[in-house]
A and B are shown apart, each in its own frame.
Chain A
Amino acid sequence: MSADAAPAQTPPPAGLPPRVGLFVTCLVDLFRPSVGFAAVKLMEDAGCTVEVPAAQTCCGQPAFNSGDRADARDIAKAVIRAFEGYDYVVAPSGSCASMLKKHYVELFDGDPAAMERANLFSAKVFELVSFLTDVLGLDQVEAAFSGSATYHDSCSGLRELGIERQPRKLLQSVEGLELKEMQDSDVCCGFGGTFCVKYPDISNKIVSEKTRCIEESGAELLLAGDLGCLMNMAGKLKREGSRIEVRHVAEVLAGMTEQPAIGEKKRG
């Protein structure tokens, strides 16, 4: 297949396991690889073959949201080229998945061939948890966690991809885990990509409101599906001296919580 020709759209062959290309996301790659391994385990347990193309870096959001369409378009083309051969493209992040699924197509106005290719690609892209439930039909996981957890709805996943009940459904099947809803779980945590360093005072005010809601929930563990939001909320909770632990939802669903929580030191 030549690099620039759109491949023929073939549905996953019946009987063969679906081939999934894992879009790791830059933050998981750099800061929390255990989320990537949890994603691989969850999908393999559900019967998928998972591969990780090396030709991936970032989804391109920093460029796209900074008004740099040219670089965003170059990155989008590279991601599409690296992943379009898979049956599915899955990312452990609503924000990055939405960039791939919803925003890449916006980058190719006036280039019908590239647009068509971005549209075909878009149909294959899913955020991890909603992929497990909505595509693979999973309604429970084999995992245990002793304690109470609260779930933050990250903005892009919630409002661009409709991810709300899926993580809660799977979390309810985790043995020993009690879900305690926080107030305003659907309100932004103040991360916003480069926003949090461009407008640190405002970001701080927003995340302070969020950590108040998290504390008031009474939960011992904070979960969400996006590492950017999680690092922001964990960073604030730790700065405030909170004992609440913070993890990506995939770690708990995969039963892989042996690594220290986000921002915590190694035990022992």
Chain B
Amino acid sequence: MHITSPAFKDNARAALDDDALQRALGNVRSGFIGKRAKAAAALPEFEQLRDAARDIKDHVLAHLDLYLEAYADKVEASGGHVHWAQDAEDARRIILGICEAKKARTVTKGKSMITEEIGLNAFLEEHAVTPVETDLGEYIIQLRGEHPSHIIAPAVHVNKDQVEEDFRRVHTHLDPARNLEEPTTLLSEARAVLRDKYFQADIGITGANFLVAETGSSIIVTNEGNGDLTQILPKTHIVVASVEKVVPTLEDMSQILRVLARSATGQDMSVYTTLSTGPKRPEDPDGPEDYHVVLLDNGRSAMLGSEFQEMLRCIRCGACMNHCPVYHAVGGHAYGWVYPGPMGAVLTPSLIGVDQAGHLPNASTFCGRCESVCPMRIPLPKMMRHWREREFSRNLNPAAARYGLGLWAFFAKRPAVYHAAMRLAIGTLSRLGRRSGRFASLPFAGGWTRFRDLPAPQGATFQAQWAKKRKSA
């Protein structure tokens, strides 16, 4: 996938000027937040569950090699195949290899961020394999030639009228006079169109919300049932998952499931929780004949033992972006790569490099709302700050900002000089601002005064007034 993270500022400006996008983003603010709050409040043990979920993943990350090997052994024992992919290119090559061996022409796909991360769709198309997205949101953005703007609601940036236009443009075999006013009619139409694709598909590809070491199972949670049809109907099922998805037992998985949907959509559970364990057994009525798991590292093992290790607890619920004022303002595409919002601001620099994604951890007010709702208690602002430290130590931030900070620090570390200098500066500023009480514009303060007035100082500094008062007392 083409990376536009270095152009974050331009992306953001375009997003702010995009009326349709701004209309769509209103839905994020009004929908997810209240639903999550209600679901969390309805469960007295919700906060303890967050602790338990965090502890499970911390334990896994401390013993990741052990659990991955145990998981892989179980998959092989159930008749499946495990492929280890060092990076995106590796994963693409492995998946294409399976497609070629099966002479596959069409693959159906369940919703999967990891296949976005490895840029699978474009790669398959280049090699004459047609990927068909089956999640409604993913299907819509595939028709539009776009990428997801949200990790659980990929088409959240699209309005209903835009979907209607896309369906009329693409579904030309249907009656042009049909009524598509209601969202449910759009859903039915997509469902009918996709139904045939499931049966045509040679291979089904899904991601995984969890991999269970105890049983060798992969688990997906969905609301549309498309994932089940994707992985059961074709003769071959490929699971693509990153290495940190493994948990020790089904019990652990169940624990984390209790916070996942509540944090994401406010549901107690997603509609479908689907486990798949190896290929179809002789006594099974259905299922794939061939079962493959591609385990992707792509930079994650380098995060182990670093100040970013805790990011690997992430279960991709999307709560952080649902509650992020910056995400609300600019949407997901502005972040310029696969993962948007606060989780993207930490994860993206880890995966594509902070030199490319440097804006992302900086474009945060550190309001802390993401951390306050993260079911895995990931300290997102703290880790964004760690990225800023890396940038600072590598001189990656703009020279003007470094110079300004250096000058400020020189004074801030010398109280006597600071107070003398500030007395002068504030004296001048307050005289200039006395008449109106504020500045509509001011040299060197354009970043502030372009959009808002700058309140003028009241007069002498507190320190000067306090010293005078003490002297006279």
Give A residues with C-beta under 8 Å from B: 24, 28-34, 36-37, 52, 54-58, 60, 62-69, 71, 74-75, 78, 106, 155-156, 159-160, 186-188, 190-207, 209, 231-232, 234-236, 238-239, 259-260, 262-266
Contacts and interface: CB of A to CB of B under 8 A. Distances in A.
12 contacts: A33-B458, A65-B388, A67-B389, A155-B367, A159-B372, A187-B325, A190-B325, A192-B367, A199-B12, A205-B330, A207-B451, A238-B455
A222 to B, nearest CB: 13
Contacts of B271: none
Interface in B1-57: 9, 12-13, 16
Given A68-B409, A71-B409, A263-B453, A187 B369 contact: yes
Interface in B343-393: 362-369, 371-372, 382, 385, 387-393
Given A196-B448, A235-B452, A264-B437, A75 B413 contact: yes
B438 A235 contact: yes
Given A159-B372, A201-B12, A202-B12, A191 B458 contact: no
Contacts of A68: 389, 392, 405, 409
B388 A66 contact: yes
Contact of A239 (B426, B451, B462): B451
A263 B461 contact: no
B458 A32 contact: yes
Contacts of B369: 155, 159, 186-188
Nearest to A68: B392
B79 interface: no
Contacts of A186: 369
List the 10 closest A-B pairs by CB distance, nearest first: A192-B365, A197-B447, A67-B392, A235-B452, A67-B388, A33-B462, A188-B367, A265-B437, A263-B455, A204-B451
B458 A36 contact: no
Nearest to A261: B437
B466 interface: yes
Contact of B329 (A31, A58, A67, A206): A206
A219 B465 CA distance: 32
A156 B415 contact: no
B367 A202 contact: no
A159 B405 CA distance: 27
B451 A236 contact: yes
A201 B10 CA distance: 10
A235 B463 contact: no
Q: Give the residue among A29, A67, A238, A263 with the most B Cβ atoms within 10 A.
A: A67
Nearest to A32: B458
A11 B16 CA distance: 54
Nearest to A246: B455
B460 interface: yes
B457 A206 contact: no
A67 B393 contact: yes
A15 B372 CA distance: 40
A191 B365 contact: yes
Given A199-B12, A202-B12, A24 B463 contact: yes
A229 to B, nearest CB: 10
The secondary structure that dominates the A interface is helix
Given A33-B459, A71-B413, A263-B438, A66 B450 contact: no
A67 B384 CA distance: 10
B463 A29 contact: yes
Interface residues of B, number: 68
Nearest to A77: B413
B397 interface: yes
A73 B440 CA distance: 36
B104 interface: no
Contacts of A74: 409, 413
A36 B454 contact: no
B59 interface: no
Contact of B390 (A64, A67, A155, A199): A67
Given A155-B366, A192-B367, A263-B438, A236 B391 contact: no
A235 B453 contact: yes
B143 to A, nearest CB: 29
B329 A205 contact: yes
Contacts of B448: 196-197, 200, 235
Contacts of A264: 437-438
Nearest to B388: A67
Interface in B409-462: 409, 411-413, 415-416, 418-419, 422, 426, 434-438, 440, 445, 447-448, 450-462
A151 to B, nearest CB: 17
Contacts of B412: 57-58, 60, 62-63, 71, 75
B359 to A, nearest CB: 8
A203 B451 contact: yes
A31 B401 CA distance: 23
A54 B365 contact: no
B330 A198 contact: no
Contacts of A201: 9, 12-13, 16, 451
Contacts of A63: 405, 408-409, 412
Given A57-B412, A65-B388, A231-B454, 9 more contacts: A36-B462, A159-B369, A187-B367, A188-B369, A195-B363, A199-B12, A206-B326, A206-B329, A265-B438
A262 B452 CA distance: 13
Contact of B466 (A52, A78, A194): A52
B467 interface: yes
Contacts of B388: 65-67
Q: Give the residue among A66, A155, A195 with the most B Cβ atoms within 10 A.
A: A66
